[in-house]
Structure 1
C-alpha cells in the first residue's frame, strides 16, 4: 500500500497529467525491488512514508513508527526495539535475539535489536515491505523489512535546512542538514539530530536523550560510475524506558517502577518478604553508542549495472533497566561487517537482479537479570557467519502481462561460548530467626554451540496492466529465519522458522489521477514460529533453571486484507483512509513455563504440571498449550485516516491544517494471554497547522499528538519471580509543541 501523505518535490515525480499542470496525486519513487520505480507500478505489498511525513509526525525513534503504518507494531524492550508486522516479529530482547522483521539502512541490514536508534533524521523516505523479501535482499527475514532511505548529497547544489521543535515535557528537538557541491561531479552532505525531553513516567523513566550525526560524500564521473560513502554516529542516553505494575494505580497517572506506590504494590504480591525482593530504583540509565560506515558503488558494465555495498557497524550498549519489574544490567559490544554485490539490468521485456551476500557478526555480552529470589548472569561470545546468493527476474510475455520468478540460497553458521550462572533462592541459613540470611545457590553452565542452518527459498508472481493506471498482481514467496541460540547444556538452539506468503493485490488511479484505490489480500502460513520467553533449560545434569529462551512453539495461520484510499478532490485537499483486517490464529502453540515460586503460571491457556526438577526446592515447571489463541501484537482491525487542507494566502504564503487518527481493535502484548497484557480498542489522533512562506524557505507548525491523551500499552511482561504480576510499558501521552523550519 502506498503512503497517504503528500511528499516534497525532491522525493516525488508527477505523472503526465500532474506534470501538465492538471494537478493530481504525487507519485512516490521507491527502490523496494532494487530499482527505481513508481510505487503504484511496484507489484509487491509495500507502504512508503516520506521524510516530510516523518518530520510532521515528530518521529525521532523507532517506537514512533507504529502510528504511521497499519501493519506495523513497534515496542520498546529496555534499551532494545521489538518490531512486529502483521503479528510476525520477535519478543526476544537480549544478545541472542534476531529480528523477524529485517531493518535496513540504505540497503544495509542492521542486526542488533538495539540498532534502529539515532537514525530518524534527514530521511528521504521509509519503506515497509510485507512478507519475505529474500530473493532481492542480502539478509532474509520471515515477516518483511523496514527500509530507511537517507537523503543523499545533491550534485551542483548548495542547500540545507534547520528544524527546531519545542514541546511539553521540556522536549527540545532539532535536526539540520547542509549540502555542499564539490565541483560539478561531487557533493558532500552532513546532517545531525538532537532530541531531549523529560520522562513520561513520574520517576523520570521513558525519557529521550539522543544525539546523532551523519556525513555522506557522493561523486559521479558521468561515465556510468558513481559512489556514495557514508559514516554516521549516534548516542542514546537518559534513564531509558519505564514500566508500571498492573492494574495501573491512581488511574491514568504514569507511575514509574521506582514510585513508592508501585513498589508497595509489588511487595504485597506473593511471595512476600522475608523471601528476598527486588526494589526498583531511579538509577536506571542507558549509555549506548552506534557507529557505522558504508559505501554504495555503482558501475555500468554495459550488459548490466554492478552495485557493491561494503558496510561496517559497531554497537556498544551499556544500560540498566527496571521496566519489567526486575533489574536488567547489560553491557554488549557488537561488530558486524557485510558485503553485498548485485548485477542488474532491464530492457523492454526483461528485468533481472543477481546478487551475493556475506555477513559476519561478533558479539560480546554480559547480561545480568536479577529478581533477588532468582537471578541469571550470562557472559557470552557469539558469532554469526552468513552467506547467500539470490536472484529474481521479471519477463514481459506481452505488453501488459509479466511473470516473475526468484530463488535464494542461504547458509548461516552460529557459534557461542557462554558462561551462565543461575542464582536460585533455596531457603535461609539456620536457625530461622531474624535477622534472616538467604541462601542463594550458584549453578554454573558452560554452553557451547557450533551449528549450521541452510535453506532454499523462492518467489513466483504474475502482474497484469488492466489499464494505464491499473495494476493487478499476485505473488507467492517463502522465507525463513535461522535458529536462535540460548544458554543451556545439550541442545541450546531453536530450529529455523518458515513462512509462506500468498498475496493478490491491485493498484489503481482514477478520475484524472485524483483518486487512488489500492487493495491487497494476503494469506500467510507460518511454521515453527520462534517464541521468546522465560523457559526451563538444562543448567546442570537433571536440573532445569530459568533462561530467556527462544523455542519453536508451533504454527499459525494469518490472513486478511488491506485497503487504501487517497482522494484529492481539489489541489488543496487530501483525504486518506488505510484499513487493515487481520485474522491470526495459532494452529499449534506449545511451550514450557518455569515458576520460581512453584505456583502455576498465570496464563490464559491450558496448563499441565511436569516432573522436571527446578533449580530450587519451590520451583516447578509446566507445559502450556495456547493453541487457538491469536498471535501477539496482531489487532483484528486497524484504521489510519487523515485529512488536510491548504489555504492559499497569495504572496503571503499558505496555511495547511491537517488531522489524522489511528483506530485499533484489541490485541495481546505477550503469550501470557491475560487481561493485564491485553490492550483494548482505542483511538489516537493528531492535529497540526503549518504556515509556510510563498518561497517555501520558512515554515512554522503547531501540533498536538495523542489528542485524546489515550493510555495505550506498547509491551507487557509477567514477573519471573511473582506469578500473576505484570508490568506494562506505555506509548506516549498527549504531547504538543511548535516546530520551525528554515530551508536555504
Structure 2
C-alpha cells in the first residue's frame, strides 16, 4: 500500500485533460590520441605502455596532461573496463561512483553529482549527453560498450556546455574508439557466461598504402537473459541478440592533413530494459481476483509483449588541417535510428494497458574547431556548432483486451546553433587563468495528432543563452596543481510531444563552483574536488500511463559535495585504487512534486488504480542521488607457467537513494563485487580469463516507473560466472 496523502493535486490544465484521456483508455563501458587520429573533443586516456602518471586528455579541446586540466574527469582506459568487467552502460557506476546510471525503459538516465534527467519521451534529451569519437548522440538510449575497439571511456563531472556542446548541465560521457593503424593488428575475443550468454568480438587494422589505413570492429552477443514468466512458464522470456560493426578509413594525403571516414551499424533485439514487474505487487491487475502479479527479481507476469528492437546507422567525417599557427578540425556527422518497442504497462496478466510504438530519428551535426598550437603562454580554441535533429513518435495502445489502435503521432524538430571560445593564459610562472563562453540558439518545433481526442496542433519556440566559465589554476609542482572554477550550465527549453501542448518547458540553469587538487607523481595518482551547485528550473515529468506525461519546470535544488580518486602502485606488480563520491543533493524548492496514492476501487470514475497527488518535496533528497558511493579494488600480477597471471577485484557500494522526488520508492544501500583472473601465454598472443560479476548475488533495482496503473520496476543482473579467450597479433 502506498502512503496515503490527503492533499490531492491541482494540476495544470493540460495535466487534467491528459488524466481524463488516460482514464478513458483503461478498462480496469586507455588509448591516447595518436598522430594518425584527429584530436577528438573527448577526454582520452594514454596508451597502456605510457607511464601511469602521463594520462593525456583533450577535455579543453587541446592535448594536456590530466593533472593540468582544471576539470574533474574520470578517465577510464579500455584495460580498466575489461579488468573490472564493465561491459554495459549500467555498470559505469562501478568504476566511476560519482555517476549513477539508471533507466526509464531503454532510456538511459545518468545522474552526476545530483544532476540528472527526470524526463523521458518524445522531444526530450538527457542533460548528461553521450559523445562517441567527439560526436554528440542526442537520443539517450544505451551506448554499446561491447565493441572491442573502444580505447577509453571518460566521465566529465559538472557543467560542460562551454566546450562540449548543448545540454551538458550535469556533465558528459565520452567514448573514444581506436584509430586505424598502418601496422597490421588483429584482436579477437570470445566469451561465455551464465544464462547462456555468448559474447564475441573482432578488431583488425592495417595499412593499404603509405597514406591510407583502415580498420574494422565487430561484435556479436546473444543470451537467454535471467527473466522468467511465471504466467506462461517461459524460462528465456528475456532472450536477446545484438550485433554491431564499426569501420574507419584514415587518409593522410600530405603532411598536416588527414581525413577519417567512419561508418557504424548496430542491431539490437533485447527486451531486458522493458522486462519489468510490479513493485511489491502494486498493479491494477492485482485487484482482479485470481490474478498472479510478479515482483521477484527474476519474475515477470506480463501477457502483452515486452520488447525493444533498435537499429542505428552513423556516418562521420573528421577532417584535420595544420595551418601552421593553429589546427583546424571539422566534425561532420549523420546518424539514423529506429527504435521499435512494446510494453505491458500493468506488468500483469490482466488486460489493463499495453502499448507498441516506433521512434525513427535522424541527426546531422557539424562542428568546426580552430585550436592553437602547443607552446607559449596563451592557448586557445574557438569554434562553431550546428545540429539538426528530427524525431517522430508513432504510438499504439491496447486496453481491456482490445486490439492495438493508434493513439497519437508526433514529430519534434530541433535546429541548434552555437559559437564558443576558450583560452588559457599563464599570467606569471605557474599561474594560469582560463576564460571561456558559449552562445547558443535552440529552435525546437513540435507537431502532434491525438486521434482519440481529435486534437492536432503544432508550434515552435526559440531559446538563446550565454554560458561562461572562469578558472584559476596554480601549478604547485610540475606534476600537481590546484584550481578554482565557476561554470554556468544550461539545458535548452523543450516542446515535449507527450504533453500535447505547444507551450514550451523552460530551460534548466545551473551555477557551479568547484575547488580541486590533482597530482600524479611516481606511483601515486590522486584527484580531489569539492563542488557547490545552485540548480534552477529543473525539468521533471509526471507519468499517467500509455506513454502520456506532463513535463514542467517544477524544482530547484542545492547541491554540494566532494569526490576523489586514488591509485597507488605498491609495487610494479601490485596496484590498489579507490574512488569516492559524497553528494548532498536536496530539493531547495519543489512544492508541486507528484506522488501516487493507491485507489482500491477499480470502479471509480477515473478507472485508475494509483492516483497522482500533489506533495511538497522541498527538503527531500534529489532522486537517484545517493549521499555516498565508492569503489575500491586491487590489481595484482605475477609470473606463472612461463606467462603472466593478473588478478583483479573491484567492489562498488552505494548508500540508500530514491527513484522519485517524493521519497516513496527507495533503493536500500547495496554493494557489488566483481572478480577476474587472466593468464597471458609466454608469447603474449593469448589471454584466458575467468570472471564473476555480482559474485555475492546482491539484489538491486535499476529502475522504478510509477504511473496510474502500476508501480513498475526492473532488477539488475544476478551473480554470473564466465570465461573468455582473447587472441592478438
TM above 0.5? yes
Asked if the contact 2:123–2:391 (Cα under 8 Å) also holds between the matched residues in 1, the reply is no
Match of 2:428 in 1: 398
Report the Cα offset of residue 263 of structure 1: 5.2
Report the Cα offset of residue 190 of structure 1: 0.5
Return the match for 2:244 from 212, 229, 253. 212
Distance 1:58 1:261, change over 3 A: farther
Q: Helix, strand or coil for the counterpart of 1:221?
A: strand
CA-to-aligned-CA distance 1:436-493 (integer Å, 9 cap, x gap): xxxxxx4233232211111111100011111121111111111111122234565532
TM-score using structure 2 length? 0.85
Return the match for 1:689 from 677, 688, 696. 677
Q: Helix, strand or coil for the counterpart of 1:66?
A: helix
2:530 is the alignment partner of 1:529:
no
Match of 2:394 in 1: 366
Structure 2 distance, partners of 1:343, 1:689, is 45
CA-to-aligned-CA distance 1:494-543 (integer Å, 9 cap, x gap): 11001111111001134xx112221110111100001122269xxxxxxx
2:350 is the alignment partner of 1:350:
no
Asked if the contact 1:14–1:27 (Cα under 8 Å) also holds between the matched residues in 2, the reply is no
Return the match for 1:247 from 257, 280, 286. 280
Return the match for 1:124 from 148, 151, 157. 151
Match of 2:688 in 1: 700
2:335 is the alignment partner of 1:301:
no
CA-to-aligned-CA distance 1:55-97 (integer Å, 9 cap, x gap): 3344443223222211111123223222221222223232222
Q: Helix, strand or coil for the counterpart of 2:129?
A: strand
Structure 1 distance, partners of 2:382, 2:32, is 33
Structure 1 distance, partners of 2:324, 2:47, is 30
Asked if the contact 1:70–1:579 (Cα under 8 Å) also holds between the matched residues in 2, the reply is yes
Q: Helix, strand or coil for the counterpart of 1:673?
A: coil
Structure 2 distance, partners of 1:128, 1:212, is 23
Return the match for 1:161 from 170, 175, 187. 187
Q: Helix, strand or coil for the counterpart of 1:101?
A: coil
Structure 1 distance, partners of 2:184, 2:215, is 10
* Count of paired positions: 667
Alignment of 1:60-99 (within 5 A): 60-99=87-126
Match of 1:496 in 2: 507
CA-to-aligned-CA distance 1:581-634 (integer Å, 9 cap, x gap): 11001011133659798789xxxxxxxxxxxxx988999764332111111111
Kindly indicate whether structure 1 or structure 2 has the higher relative contact order, using CA contacts under 8 Å at least 6 residues apart: 2
Where does the alignment leave 5 or more consecutive residues of structure 2 unmatched? 1-28, 35-43, 230-235, 348-352
Alignment of 1:133-532 (within 5 A): 133-154=160-181, 156-203=182-229, 204-241=236-273, 242-247=275-280, 264-265=292-293, 280-281=302-303, 283-322=305-344, 325=347, 326-346=353-373, 347-368=375-396, 372=400, 377-421=407-451, 442-487=452-497, 488=499, 492-510=503-521, 513-532=522-541
Asked if the contact 1:591–1:625 (Cα under 8 Å) also holds between the matched residues in 2, the reply is yes
Asked if the contact 2:625–2:657 (Cα under 8 Å) also holds between the matched residues in 1, the reply is yes
Structure 1 distance, partners of 2:247, 2:290, is 45
Asked if the contact 1:71–1:86 (Cα under 8 Å) also holds between the matched residues in 2, the reply is yes
CA-to-aligned-CA distance 1:20-58 (integer Å, 9 cap, x gap): xxxx63532222221222222222111111112223344
Asked if the contact 2:554–2:593 (Cα under 8 Å) also holds between the matched residues in 1, the reply is no
Asked if the contact 2:495–2:504 (Cα under 8 Å) also holds between the matched residues in 1, the reply is yes
Distance 1:115 1:262, change over 3 A: farther
CA-to-aligned-CA distance 1:176-220 (integer Å, 9 cap, x gap): 111011222221000111111112212345554210001100122
TM-score using structure 1 length? 0.84
Asked if the contact 2:655–2:669 (Cα under 8 Å) also holds between the matched residues in 1, the reply is yes
Asked if the contact 2:621–2:661 (Cα under 8 Å) also holds between the matched residues in 1, the reply is no
Q: Helix, strand or coil for the counterpart of 1:264?
A: coil
Match of 2:570 in 1: 569
Report the Cα offset of residue 555 of structure 1: 0.4
Structure 2 distance, partners of 1:388, 1:616, is 48
Structure 2 distance, partners of 1:625, 1:160, is 58
Distance 1:671 1:211, change over 3 A: same
Q: Helix, strand or coil for the counterpart of 2:514?
A: strand
Q: Helix, strand or coil for the counterpart of 2:585?
A: strand
CA-to-aligned-CA distance 1:330-362 (integer Å, 9 cap, x gap): 101111001000101043201101000010011
Distance 1:709 1:7, change over 3 A: farther
CA-to-aligned-CA distance 1:206-237 (integer Å, 9 cap, x gap): 55421000110012234211111100000110
Alignment of 1:552-701 (within 5 A): 552-591=553-592, 593=594, 622-649=613-640, 652-674=642-664, 677-701=665-689
Q: Helix, strand or coil for the counterpart of 2:570?
A: coil
Report the Cα offset of residue 671 of structure 1: 2.5
Structure 2 distance, partners of 1:261, 1:190, is 56
Report the Cα offset of residue 323 of structure 1: 6.8
Match of 2:714 in 1: 729
Name which of structure 1's ranges 553-562 and 132-141 shifts more when overlaid on structure 2: 132-141
Return the match for 1:739 from 715, 720, 724. 724
Structure 1 distance, partners of 2:440, 2:312, is 27
Asked if the contact 2:644–2:682 (Cα under 8 Å) also holds between the matched residues in 1, the reply is yes
Asked if the contact 2:441–2:465 (Cα under 8 Å) also holds between the matched residues in 1, the reply is yes
Match of 1:272 in 2: none
Distance 1:332 1:215, change over 3 A: same
